[in-house]
Amino acid sequence: MRTSAPLRSKSFEVFENGIGPGKWPDSISVGMFMTIHISPWLLRRKWILVAIGLPVLVALWWAFRPEKLWINQKVNEPAPFDTSADPQPILTGRFEGNARHTNGRATIYKKPGGEYLQLSDFTAPSGPDIHVALVHDDAQAKSGLDSLDLGPLKANQSDQNYNLPGGTDLDKYDAVLIYAERPHAVFGLAKLEPF
């Protein structure tokens, strides 16, 4: 009669092979068909992983700024004050946000020192790297051609002003665009019409 050897537990086999508390296996089975081989040299020097991984995580956080996806920023800028004359509105339009909820009014004012854009009663989704630009029309808004970037959005809520560069030809632009620079997503578009 044949006797069978007693069954051993997996933990016993692991210890029997010289792998136990304080020692790491040189491979890890993931599923039925995949084995990941880990260098014992790298596992003994975990500080290398930390020294490389931590700066990479900080760089990714700095590049994408995920906290800006849920933090709202508010600013209430009054119209620029000029004692010589009141600013005169030239062009105005309301934002139309398609998939993203961008609301408010964009108005370009003329004052003795030049022109400026005012976003009033403005709300937009929060996110990293959102910019304000003047564009020629809706088709160019999506392509980014022939646009005048006025800088990053100061806040995603409330009134804010952006000075237009001197000598800006307002006949060349007929819309204000709110867009995210990195994913190239349009958040809102306001078609400008004479006031």
Residues 18 and 110 in one domain: no
For residue 5, being part of any structural domain is answered with no
CATH number at residue 108: 2.60.40.200
Tell which phi-psi region holds residue 85, choosing left (phi > 0), alpha (psi between -120 and 50) or beta: beta
Claim to verify: residue 52 and residue 107 sit in the same structural domain = no
Residue 78 lies in a domain: no
Are residues 128 and 37 part of one domain? Answer: no
Specify the pLDDT at position 131: 92
Burial grade of 187 (CB within 10 A; 0-12, 13-18, 19 or more): buried
Query: What pLDDT, in 10s, does the model give residues 71-83?
Result: 666 777 776 666 5
Going by pLDDT thresholds of 50, 70 and 90, the confidence category of residue 165 is: very high
Domain assignment of residue 73, yes or no: no
Do 161 and 122 share a structural domain? yes
The verdict on 95 and 124 lying in the same domain is: yes
Identify the top-confidence range among 21-25, 60-64, 97-101. 60-64
Q: How many CA atoms lie within 13 A of 167 on its CB side?
A: 0
**pTM for this entry:** 0.61
Query: What is the secondary structure of 53-89 as a DSSP string?
Result: HHHHHHHHHHHH-GGGGT---B--PPPPP-SS---EE
Q: Considering the domain boundaries, does residue 76 fall inside one? A: no
Residues 173 and 109 in one domain: yes
**In this predicted model, what pLDDT tens digit does every residue of 115-129 receive, in sequence order?**
999 999 999 888 778
In a domain, 77, yes or no: no
- Across the strands, what pairs with 120? 105
100, 151: one domain: yes
Q: Which residue range forms the structural domain that includes residue 54? A: 10-68
Q: Are residues 99 and 186 in the same domain?
A: yes
- Local structure of residue 7 (DSSP, 8 states): P
Instruction: Provide the number of structural domains found in the chain.
Output: 2
pLDDT tens by residue, 19-47: 455 555 555 555 566 666 666 776 677 88
Residues in the chain: 195
Determine, yes or no, domain membership for 32: yes
Would you say residue 150 has pLDDT above 90?
Answer: yes
- Is 83 part of any domain? no
The confidence score (pLDDT) of residue 13 equals 42
Report whether pLDDT(6) > 70. Answer: no
